[in-house]
Amino acid sequence: MFQTLYSYFWWERLWLPANLTWADLEDRDGRVYAKASDLYITLPLAFLFLIVRHLFETYVATPLAGLLNVKEKIRLKATPNAVLEKFYATTTKHPKQADVEMLSKKSGCTVRQVERWFRRRRNQDRPSLLKKFREASWRFTFYLIAFIAGMAVIVDKPWFYDLREVWKGYPIQSMLPSQYWYYMIELSFYWSLLFSIASDVKRKDFKEQIIHHVATIILISFSWFANYIRAGTLIMALHDSSDYLLESAKMFNYAGWRNTCNNIFIVFAAVFIVTRLVILPFWIMHCTVVYPLDLYPAFFGYYFFNFMMVVLQSLHIFWAYLIIRMAQKFITGKARGGVVEDERSDREETDNSEEEEEAAAAKNGPLSNGHPVLNNNHRKTD
What is the pLDDT at residue 316? 92
How many H-runs (helices) and E-runs (strands) does the chain carry? Answer: 15, 2
pLDDT digits (tens, 9 = 90+) for 333-367: 555 555 455 555 545 555 444 444 444 444 444 44
The model's pTM is: 0.78
CA dihedral 90, 95, 99, 102 (to 10 degrees): 80
CA angle 308, 311, 315 (to 5 degrees): 145
Tell me the mean pLDDT in the region 300-304.
Answer: 90
Alpha-carbon span 51 to 192, nearest angstrom: 10
Query: Distance between CA 238 and CA 222 in Å, rounded?
Result: 18
Long-range contacts formed by 292-298: CB under 8 A, 24+ apart: 292/167, 292/170, 294/167, 295/17, 295/167, 295/170, 296/17, 296/18, 297/17, 297/18
Is it the case that residue 19 has pLDDT exceeding 90?
no
Name the H helices within 275-299.
285-289
In whole angstroms, what is the distance from residue 311 CA to residue 332 CA? 32
| Residues facing residue 368 across a β-bridge | 371
Instruction: Give CA–CA dist 85/127, Å, rounded.
Output: 19
Q: How far apart are CA 283 and CA 287, in angstroms?
A: 6
Radius of gyration, CA atoms only, the chain: 26
| Cβ–Cβ < 8 Å for 143, 115 | no
Phi (first) and psi of residue 306, to 5 degrees:
-75, -25
> CA 148, CA 144: separation in Å to the nearest integer?
6
Contact at 8 Å (CB) between 143 and 244? yes
Average pLDDT score over the chain: 83
β-strand partners of 371: 368
| Residue 154: per-residue pLDDT | 94
Do the Cβ atoms of 313 and 281 come closer than 8 Å?
A: yes
Q: Domain 82-125: give its CATH code.
A: 1.10.10.60
pLDDT for the residue 344: 52
285 and 219 in contact (C-beta within 8 Å)? no
What are the backbone angles phi and psi of residue 371, rounded to the nearest 5°? Answer: -120, 145
Measured CA to CA, the distance from residue 236 to residue 12 in angstroms comes to: 26
Per DSSP, 11 falls in state -
Cα–Cα distance, 20 to 54 (Å, whole number): 45
Sorted by where each begins, the domain ranges of the chain are 30-68+128-332, 82-125
pLDDT of residue 326: 83
Average the pLDDT over 22-31 and give the result. Answer: 80
CA 210-141-180 angle, to 5 degrees, is: 75
User: Residue 130 contacts by C-beta under 8 Å, 6 or more apart in sequence?
Assistant: 62, 65, 70, 72, 381
State the amino acid at position 263 in one-letter form.
N
The reported pLDDT for the residue numbered 345 is 52
CA distances from 59 to 52, 251, 349 (A): 10, 16, 32
pLDDT in tens, 236-290: 999 999 999 999 999 999 998 988 998 999 999 999 999 999 999 999 999 999 9
Backbone angles phi, psi at 22, to 5 degrees: -60, -25
pLDDT in tens, 162-201: 999 999 888 888 889 999 999 999 999 999 999 998 888 8
pLDDT at 376 over 50: no
**Of residues 220 and 368, more confidently modeled:** 220
pLDDT of residue 350: 55
Give the total residue count for the chain.
382
Cα(154)–Cα(160) distance, integer angstroms: 6
Section 55-69 average pLDDT = 94
Q: Inform me whether the pLDDT recorded for 64 exceeds 90.
A: yes
Residue 372: helix, strand or coil by DSSP? strand
Give pLDDT tens digits for 105-115: 888 888 898 88
8-state DSSP, 368: E
For 27-57, how does the pLDDT look when each residue is reduced to its tens digit (9 = 90+)?
A: 887 788 888 889 999 999 999 999 999 999 9
Q: What is the DSSP letter of 79?
A: P
